[in-house]
Amino acid sequence: MKTKLLTTAVALALGTLAGSALAQAPAPLRISFTADIRSTEPGVNRDSNSDAVVLHIVEGLVAYGEDAEVRPLLAESIDISPDGKTYTFKLRQGVKFHNGAPLTSADVLWTWQHYTAANSGWRCASEFDGRGTVKVTGVEAPDAQTVVYHLEKPSSLFLASLARADCGGTGILQKASVKADGSWDKPIGTGPFAFAEWKRGEYVRLTKFADYANRDGKRDGYTGSKRPLVDEVRFVIVPDDSTAKAALQRGNIDIIEDVSNNDVPVLQGTPNVKVAYAPVMSMTALLLQTKDPLLSNPKIRQALAHAIDYDQLAAAVTEGLAKPNNSIVPLVSPYNDATQKEGWKYDPALSQKLLKEAGYKGQELELITTKRYPQSYNSAVIIQAMLQAVGINAKLSVSEWATQLDRYNAGTYQMMTFPYSARLDAALNYEMVTGDKAKQPRKVWDNPDAQKLLDAASVDTDHAKRQASFDQLHKLFLADVPSIPLYNGLDIGAFRTDIKGYTPWAVKKPRAWEVERVAK
């Protein structure tokens, strides 16, 4: 049976079929992924797994700490001009790339030019060229340890945007990361682990960077102490949850980085296995394509919103561990106040009334989902039943994750359940859904009034002013229903008892640094 036997490919990836010579070498730290990465280039053709791997290899000038505050990483210090439009970064001394080259401001400048070149494919180019929250008008390197960024106008989100995981942390690259013709080769960064091998569909292998320049202190998100305490990390692709759990129980996997809620009781009762939790700022939502002929009608979107029993949905999908949240702002955010806690009331009668007023005649609405993320898939199954109960002809369509992500990016769908990765600032939470669909088809909300409110929250540094903007955004969002936020989840990790130092956190990505294998 599949739950009892690993495939040969997975077994090889785990090292369970290694020869006698390899058997004497220290076992790698093995972390399971349910799907392969998409690329090794920071922020390019990426998904959450790609980001997780890349951020072990590359580092940016700044990074998020455990408390979602942005702190220096490769920068020793940051000076902001009185007008808020000039950022001067002093680089840390003694930092080396994996190929031995020293980090200098020239590398920062080259990396920025690489990311922002025409057709670079960098996910976050639009966040810095004026289409998003920031417009960088120039970058200069006056000396080997200094980099200066010039902004068109002040922004409270410039540093936060640099640190974003989906931007690859704007990780600084050594120019040997690209081939002579300028095409991508492999990431050469300054992180605690170096890229070694990507065997597609099986594993990604990283090796300890012995010359890693650690910041010391305590572990602190993506900054702080990041010592590589194992010689090798192997991210192993194990698509089947049952296979991953069996491998963990046998000791062939050390860490399952994203445990389903319904697996928690079983794993808690498993010998030699521990389970740990942390609240996260990621979000699962039902996306609605407002350009669709049917869903362009706001009454139909309101009908969808009132057809869902959010308490029942969240309880069923998360085994009662998470609460529903109809706000784009996560429950654990300091900006999730009483206004943000207002949501759509479950009211089947109102839903049916709105459908009748909209002239709905039972036309089919396709609901796309993927089994790659079990909670997202389970949400879709429950939502389909709830929509059908009020007379909505919802058809479930299950896609491969890569296909769904492509359709999300292109905006070619009617409805889909979608898992958004964590954003650690409320303005960035709204930014991930707000924008002009003609320029960025992946955006779900293209209301000009919402964009103005978001622009204000992206510039203001005063908490009260930002809170007022977020509260207005939430009320407008509830009226427009461009998508339906469902719940924020938990980062649940399961690991062997001989693994010390592994901790889930708000970004919901595994961290292999400061993790070691100890004798039982």
pLDDT single digits (tens) 125-157: 999 999 877 899 999 999 999 999 999 999 888
- Which pLDDT score, from 0 to 100, does residue 21 have? 45
Instruction: Supply 441's token pair.
Output: 């088809």
**Among 334, 287, 302, 296, which residue's Cα sits nearest to residue 486?**
287
| pTM of the complete model | 0.74
Cα 21 to Cα 18, 24, 113, 115: the distances in Å are 8, 6, 45, 42
If you search the block for the tokens 């300890």, which residue do you land on?
A: 208
**Pair of tokens at residue 145:** 């340890």
- Rounded CA-CA distance 66/359 in Å is 50
pLDDT at 14: 60
Nearest to 318 by CA among 395, 393, 386, 378: 378
Residues of the chain short of pLDDT 50, as ranges, are 1-6, 8, 12, 17-23
Roughly what angle, to the nearest 10 degrees, separates helices 374-389 and 310-317? 150
Structure confidence at residue 318 (pLDDT): 85
Our separate counts of H helices and E strands in the chain read 15, 22
CA separation for the pair 30, 119 (Å, rounded): 35
Cβ burial of 274 (10 Å; 0-12, 13-18, 19+) is middle
Which of the 8 DSSP states describes residue 73? S
Kindly give the residue spans of alpha helices, DSSP state H, lying in 362-425. 374-389, 401-410
Phi, psi of 138 (to 5 degrees): 180, 150
What pLDDT is stored for residue 3 in this prediction? 42
* Tens-place pLDDT, residues 353-402: 999 999 999 999 999 999 988 889 999 999 999 999 999 999 999 999 99
- Domains in the chain, ordered, with CATH? 29-257+504-517 (3.40.190.10), 282-489 (3.10.105.10)
Question: 166-202: per-residue pLDDT in tens?
Answer: 999 999 999 999 999 999 999 999 999 999 999 999 9
Judge contact between 295 and 242, C-beta under 8 A: no
pLDDT of residue 4: 44
Quick one: pLDDT at residue 13? 58
Cβ atoms of 514 and 275 closer than 8 Å:
no
User: CA-CA distance, 306 to 357, in Å (whole number)?
Assistant: 14
Q: Alpha-carbon distance 386 to 417, whole Å?
A: 14
Residue 464 DSSP one-character state? H
Residue whose entry in the numeric block shows the structure tokens 């305590």? 218
